[in-house]
Structure 1
Amino acid sequence: MKLLQALFFPPEQPGGVSSMIPFFQERFQKPNWEMEIFSIPKRVRSKGHEEVTFTTFDWHQFEENSTVQKYIQTIRDYIWWSKMRLKQSYDVIHAHHPIAALVLKKLFPDTPVVMTIHSSYERELILNGKIEEGGIEHQFLTSLYRELEHHMDQILTVSESFKQYLSTYMNHPDRIIVIPNGYDERRFKPISHENEVPQLITVCRLVPAKGLDILLQACAELKARGHSYVLHIIGDGPIRTELEELAVSLDIYDETIFYGYMLHPEQFMPFSDIFVLPSRAEAFGSVFAEAALCWLALVGTDVGGIAEQIEDGVNGLLVPPDQPTALADALEKMMGDPVYRYQLSRAGWEKAKKSYSLTRVVNELKNIYLQVNRKS
């Protein structure tokens, strides 16, 4: 069977799709399986000029909006690039972005297309203060879910909570299949160690949705309580300067290290003790599974896919979002009891190994590919 895994941008960023798709190829072994990965280079801009239409709604009602115009142009560019680069046929196409899914179904109408909805672009934009809930951009982006439902042969998503979110915008959410992300254990090299000063680490894009302002406030509270620690922040993004200034104003800059973007943070994580990320929303939260596979104790917020990965007090700690004192309390509890921290980290590792195995994901996907191919 010839497969096409269709991404949006190349899989260069850590976390999420990039943590999984490139590792598929050796698991889909020839001669029974042949897999190709396709994406659009970031340098492709304003190349496409084809008219864009949708079956389930008229996007022209939103066309005066600049965000919508940019999204439509990106669809045109993806069409242009796909027509230029994809010259062969496939038995199944698996798309990992709405634009890739809709474009490739248009270009390959007789080929089954499976779509995994990994996250909510509109929710991220709202949390990052880029658009307003219920506004024109929000209406346009959520309209795409029914368009996907109309055209896709199968829709997948990564958590039960995100399936529930999608149910608001789809006519038949019961048809969505949940397959949590999977990880190749060989990427992760846990290291037994004892740090005299607790090492806290987070890995994410530096955007408001990740709640790093809350993390810095919690760390300032830990310092005020007399605790020593080092906070490692891996990632980059539009609010890095703002976060650095906040660390200075909270008098915790000396305890905080901003590394910027790192291609393989899993090679750095095992030397820390606690992974913490107080996201305001998360469809799955891949980095929690990655941190668990590095033997780190987990502290996260009780939202979305994070709450499906962490059972509070069993394999990590959960706190409400936007509550720095609650986050400081959870971190203090872990920092002050190495035995408890060890127990949580090992329980987290066991769950991640069992629930987020790449082998499990590949086997489930193979069954889905065979089913949609038979139906075509």
Structure 2
Amino acid sequence: MKLLQALFFPPEQPGGVSSMIPYLQERFHSSRWEMEMFWLPKRIRNKGHEDPIFHTFDWREYEESPIVAKYLQTYRDYLWWTRLRIQKPYDLIHSHHPIAGMAMKAVFPEVPLIQTVHSSYERELILNGRIKEGGLEHRFLVSLYRELEYISDRLLTVSNSFKAYMSPYVNTPESIGVIHNGFDDKRFKPVPHENAVPQLITVCRLVPAKGLDTLLQACAELKRKGYDYVLHIIGDGPSRQELEEMAKELDIYQETIFYGYTLHPEEFMPFFDIFVLPSRAEAFGSVFAEAALSSLALVGTDVGGIAEQIEDGVNGLLVPAEDPMALSVALEKVISDPLYRYELARTASDKAKNQYSLARSVNELKKMYLKFQPQIES
């Protein structure tokens, strides 16, 4: 069976897709399966000129927005690149981004399409202050869910909470499937260690949606109470300068290390103690599963896929979003009690290995893919 995994970003980019899809190939490497990946290189800009075709709404109603216009141009570029680079047929295409799925269906209308929605671009834009809820851009982006439902043979997402989020925007929400991201536990090797000072780590894109302003405020409260710690912030983004200035203003800059973008944070994550990310929204939150497999104690917000991964007080701690004091109290618990921290980390690791293993995700995908296997004519 010839499969194509259609991505948007290159597979080395951070995020839930890159945590799973590149590692599928070796699991599908056999005489029965042939899998390839495809994505839009960053260098491809303003090459496409073919107007998109949407079946469920009129895109021209939204094109006056610069954000929508850029999105549509990116779609045209992906369409142009697909027509240029792919000639041979596939038995099944599994897309991991709306633009990829729409372009693939336009080029290969007869090939079955599975579409996984990994995150919400519109929620990220709203939380990052780029668009207004209910505005032109928001209405365009949520219209894409019904379009994806129309063109897909199977519509999937990565958490039950995100399925609930998508449900008002499609005709048959009950048909949305959920397959969690899977993680190759061979990549994660917990390291026994004793840090004299508790080491906190977060890994994310530095944007308002990730709530790092809340984290810095919580850490300032920890320092005010006399707790020692070091906060390691791995990632880059438009908020970096603002966050560095905030750390200075809160007098925690000496306790905070900004690393910038790092390609494989899982290689040194096991040497830390506590993973914390107070996101304002999260479709799944792959980095929590990665931290759990690295045997770190987890502290997150009670939103989206984070709340599905963490059972408060059992395999991590959950706090409300945008609540620095609650986050500070949770961090205080795991900083002050190493044994409690260890128990949370151990339980989190056990759950991640059981529920978010790559093997489990691969088995679910194989069962689904086989339903679309071409019938051999006798």
TM-score bin (small chain): over 0.9
Mapped to 2, the partners of 1:283 and 1:181 lie a distance apart of: 11
Question: 1:364: which partner in 2?
Answer: 364
Question: 2:355: which partner in 1?
Answer: 355
Give, in angstroms, the shift of residue 178 of structure 1: 0.5
Mapped to 1, the partners of 2:123 and 2:2 lie a distance apart of: 34
Contact 1:154–1:372 (CA under 8 A) maintained in structure 2: no
Question: 2:178: which partner in 1?
Answer: 178
Identical counterparts, % of pairs = 69
Segment drifting more, 165-174 vs 13-22: 13-22
Other structure's SS at 1:280 match: coil
Question: 1:276: which partner in 2?
Answer: 276
Q: C-alpha deviations, 1:244-272, integer Å up to 9, x for none?
A: 00000000000000000000000111111
Please tell me the residue identity of whatever aligns with 1:209. A
Question: 1:138: which partner in 2?
Answer: 138
Please tell me the residue identity of whatever aligns with 1:333. K
Question: 2:54: which partner in 1?
Answer: 54
Question: 2:263: which partner in 1?
Answer: 263
Other structure's SS at 2:279 match: coil
Other structure's SS at 2:119 match: coil
Other structure's SS at 1:168 match: helix
Please tell me the residue identity of whatever aligns with 2:135. G
Alignment partner of 1:288 is 2:288 = yes
Question: 1:338: which partner in 2?
Answer: 338
Give, in angstroms, the shift of residue 374 of structure 1: 5.6
Please report the TM-score for the alignment, with normalisation by the length of structure 2.
0.98
Question: 1:215: which partner in 2?
Answer: 215
Segment drifting more, 60-69 vs 237-246: 60-69
Other structure's SS at 2:213 match: helix
Mapped to 2, the partners of 1:14 and 1:353 lie a distance apart of: 21
Mapped to 2, the partners of 1:73 and 1:372 lie a distance apart of: 31
Mapped to 2, the partners of 1:214 and 1:104 lie a distance apart of: 40
Q: C-alpha deviations, 1:132-184, integer Å up to 9, x for none?
A: 00000000000011001111000111000000000010110100110110000
Mapped to 1, the partners of 2:291 and 2:61 lie a distance apart of: 44
Question: 1:246: which partner in 2?
Answer: 246
Question: 1:187: which partner in 2?
Answer: 187
Please tell me the residue identity of whatever aligns with 2:356. Y
Mapped to 2, the partners of 1:374 and 1:28 lie a distance apart of: 17
Mapped to 1, the partners of 2:361 and 2:281 lie a distance apart of: 24
Mapped to 2, the partners of 1:112 and 1:338 lie a distance apart of: 51
Give, in angstroms, the shift of residue 30 of structure 1: 2.0
Give, in angstroms, the shift of residue 375 of structure 1: 9.2
Mapped to 2, the partners of 1:53 and 1:19 lie a distance apart of: 31
Aligned-residue CA RMSD (Å): 1.0
Please tell me the residue identity of whatever aligns with 2:239. I
Mapped to 2, the partners of 1:15 and 1:59 lie a distance apart of: 28
Mapped to 2, the partners of 1:235 and 1:9 lie a distance apart of: 17
Contact 1:153–1:372 (CA under 8 A) maintained in structure 2: no
Other structure's SS at 2:94 match: strand
Show structure 1 runs of 5+ residues with no match. Answer: none
Question: 1:155: which partner in 2?
Answer: 155
Question: 1:322: which partner in 2?
Answer: 322
Other structure's SS at 1:36 match: strand
Q: Which runs of 4+ in 1 moved over 4 A?
A: none
Mapped to 1, the partners of 2:128 and 2:51 lie a distance apart of: 30
Question: 1:7: which partner in 2?
Answer: 7
Contact 2:219–2:328 (CA under 8 A) maintained in structure 1: yes
Give, in angstroms, the shift of residue 29 of structure 1: 1.9
Mapped to 1, the partners of 2:255 and 2:338 lie a distance apart of: 20
Other structure's SS at 1:24 match: helix
Mapped to 1, the partners of 2:213 and 2:303 lie a distance apart of: 17
Mapped to 2, the partners of 1:314 and 1:251 lie a distance apart of: 33
Question: 1:83: which partner in 2?
Answer: 83
Question: 1:104: which partner in 2?
Answer: 104
Please tell me the residue identity of whatever aligns with 2:277. L
Q: C-alpha deviations, 1:28-67, integer Å up to 9, x for none?
A: 0221000000001011000000121211000111111111
Give, in angstroms, the shift of residue 13 of structure 1: 1.9
Mapped to 2, the partners of 1:283 and 1:76 lie a distance apart of: 26
Please tell me the residue identity of whatever aligns with 2:297. A
Mapped to 2, the partners of 1:156 and 1:208 lie a distance apart of: 27
Mapped to 2, the partners of 1:233 and 1:122 lie a distance apart of: 25
Mapped to 2, the partners of 1:17 and 1:230 lie a distance apart of: 29
Contact 2:113–2:154 (CA under 8 A) maintained in structure 1: yes
Mapped to 1, the partners of 2:222 and 2:50 lie a distance apart of: 56
Give the paired residue count: 376
Contact 2:203–2:234 (CA under 8 A) maintained in structure 1: yes
Please tell me the residue identity of whatever aligns with 1:279. S
Q: C-alpha deviations, 1:259-301, integer Å up to 9, x for none?
A: 0000000011111100000000000000000000000000000
Please tell me the residue identity of whatever aligns with 2:319. V
Other structure's SS at 2:181 match: coil
Mapped to 2, the partners of 1:204 and 1:45 lie a distance apart of: 26
Mapped to 2, the partners of 1:151 and 1:41 lie a distance apart of: 24
Contact 1:14–1:265 (CA under 8 A) maintained in structure 2: no
Mapped to 1, the partners of 2:124 and 2:5 lie a distance apart of: 24
Give, in angstroms, the shift of residue 14 of structure 1: 2.7
Other structure's SS at 1:63 match: coil
Show structure 2 runs of 5+ residues with no match. Answer: none
Segment drifting more, 364-373 vs 328-337: 364-373
Contact 2:91–2:374 (CA under 8 A) maintained in structure 1: no
Please tell me the residue identity of whatever aligns with 2:184. D
